[in-house]
């Protein structure tokens, strides 16, 4: 049976949004071999997927890193699309990253208002999403990043203080 899909589309970052960067183990080429997710991040992603949200991973890094991390946690099926900077040839906030995910999902410029980007990085995730006219949710629970917007372009629509809050914040944007 076809699952009823949600109108709102979810783009999500990896490092320090889902993955706890302090737990990353890398090989000699800088590829992440394994990493732990923040408590609650796994369930947040799965619950959005179960609820019928179409989800894209929009992340800066190496393809192999994300392959390793998400296959190990059994979360690959949650992602309909992946825009990875190694392959795109650009990093957030470059619109090319967001457009790569949109293209894979068959979305056009007119769909931008029904996309939300979730990420921990104000300069990359939030500024990038805002600049494109997407909604934005700041994942504010990482201790490693600045969490105060430096300019209006970095102001998120809402803030998640814990990964478990992400599904309800997404719901609130519908
Ligand atoms: Mg990040």
Cα angle 51-76-89, degrees, rounded to a multiple of 5? 115
Q: What is the CATH number of the domain that holds 163?
A: 3.40.50.1000
Q: Kindly state whether residue 125 falls inside one of the protein's structural domains.
A: yes
How much distance in Å is there from the Cα of 158 to the middle of ligand 1? 16
Question: What is the tally of structural domains in the chain?
Answer: 1
Q: Kindly state whether residue 132 falls inside one of the protein's structural domains.
A: yes
44-61 residue pLDDT tens:
999 999 999 999 999 999
Q: Kindly state whether residue 61 falls inside one of the protein's structural domains.
A: no
Domain that holds residue 13: 9-20+37-53+90-142+153-172
Report in angstroms the alpha-carbon separations of 134 from 21, 120, 131: 25, 15, 8
Arithmetic mean of pLDDT, 77-83: 98
Q: Kindly state whether residue 97 falls inside one of the protein's structural domains.
A: yes
How much distance in Å is there from the Cα of 51 to the middle of ligand 1? 24
pTM over 0.75: yes
Task: Check residue 46 and give its pLDDT.
Answer: 98
Q: How far apart are CA 151 and CA 159, in angstroms?
A: 16
Q: Which residue reads 């090989």 in tokens?
A: 27
Q: Kindly state whether residue 112 falls inside one of the protein's structural domains.
A: yes
| CA 35, 40, 41, 43 torsion-angle sign | positive
Q: How far apart are CA 54 and CA 59, in angstroms?
A: 16
How much distance in Å is there from the Cα of 1 to the middle of ligand 1? 35
How much distance in Å is there from the Cα of 71 to the middle of ligand 1? 19
128-174 residue pLDDT tens:
999 999 999 999 999 888 999 999 999 999 999 999 999 999 999 98
Count the Cβ atoms, other than its own, within 10 Å of residue 50: 11
Q: Kindly state whether residue 94 falls inside one of the protein's structural domains.
A: yes
Neighbours of ion ligand 1 (CB under 5 A): 13, 15-16, 120-121
């Amino acid at each position: 049976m076809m699952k009823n899909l949600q109108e709102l589309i979810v783009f999500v970052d990896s490092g320090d949004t889902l993955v706890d960067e302090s737990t990353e183990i890398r090989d000699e080429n800088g590829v992440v071999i394994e990493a732990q997710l923040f408590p609650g991040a796994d369930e947040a992603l799965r619950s959005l997927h179960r609820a019928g949200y179409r989800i894209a991973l929009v992340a800066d890094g190496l393809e192999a890193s994300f392959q390793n991390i998400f296959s190990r946690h059994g979360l690959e099926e949650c992602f309909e699309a992946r825009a990875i900077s190694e392959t795109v040839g650009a990093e957030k906030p470059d619109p090319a990253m967001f457009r790569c995910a949109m293209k894979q999902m068959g979305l056009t410029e007119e769909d931008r208002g029904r996309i939300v980007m979730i990420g921990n990085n104000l300069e990359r995730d939030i500024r990038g999403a805002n600049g494109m006219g997407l909604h934005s949710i700041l994942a504010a629970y990482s201790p490693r990043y600045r969490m105060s917007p430096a300019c209006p372009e970095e102001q998120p629509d809402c803030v998640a203080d814990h990964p478990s809050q992400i599904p309800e914040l997404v719901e609130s944007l519908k």
